[in-house]
Amino acid sequence: MFHLTLVSQSGIKYDADVSEVMLPTMDGQIGVLTDHMPLISVTKPGVISIRRQPHDTEREMDHFATYGGVLEFEHNNLVVVVDEADAAESINELEAQKAYDAAQRMKAEAKDQLSLERAQALVDRHAVRLQVATIRRHHHH
């Protein structure tokens, strides 16, 4: 086991001992286990999945939609600092789908590069929220 602290701009989202954490980094998805080598990395928008106990199934894991940040692992202590982290339980799939569709429309109607970049950032953000909402739905049926 090792300690995970997940921090967003709105405060601490997760602070507990865990057995495994899967994170989306610029180099791809990585898994951190106890006694992992020291590591500093940049995370990208995606899903952070937390396995509390070694035998936990995917259904029992905690999932967060995140929008990029940094992580540091040292002495069995993982600190992940992100702009935002939305727990799967807090995401309404229908609302996430509507927001994603609206962002796609904004992107399609963008008249200049700045509008296009802002719309793309919204599309990316809502795509991640939708992904986490879908994970939750599949594992609770």
In the predicted model, what is the mean pLDDT of the chain? 92
Contacts of 140 (CB under 8 A, 6+ apart): 59
Quick one: 44 and 105 in the same domain? Answer: no
Q: 96 and 59, same structural domain?
A: no
Amino acid 98 reads K
Residue-wise pLDDT tens digits, 93-113? 899 999 999 999 999 999 999
Same domain for 109 and 120, yes or no, is yes
Has this prediction a pTM greater than 0.85?
Answer: no
Looking at the structure, do residues 75 and 13 belong to the same domain, yes or no? yes
135 and 83, same structural domain?
no
**69 and 104 share a domain?**
no
What does the alpha-carbon distance between residue 21 and residue 5 come to, in Å, rounded to a whole number?
11
- Asked whether the predicted pLDDT for residue 127 surpasses 70, the reply is yes
What is the domain count for the chain? 2
Same domain for 77 and 96?
Answer: no
Output the domain CATH number for residue 117.
Answer: 1.20.5
| 105 and 82 within one domain | no
- Regarding whether 42 and 109 lie in a shared domain, the answer is no
Question: pLDDT digits over 35-48, tens only?
Answer: 999 999 999 999 99
How many Å apart are CA 26 and CA 123, to the nearest integer?
Answer: 19
More confident residue, 136 or 43: 43
Domain, as residue range, for 84 = 2-88
Largest CA distance in the chain: 51
**67 and 99 part of one domain:** no
Query: 128 and 71, same structural domain?
Result: no
Q: Considering the chain, what percentage of its residues have pLDDT values greater than 90?
A: 73
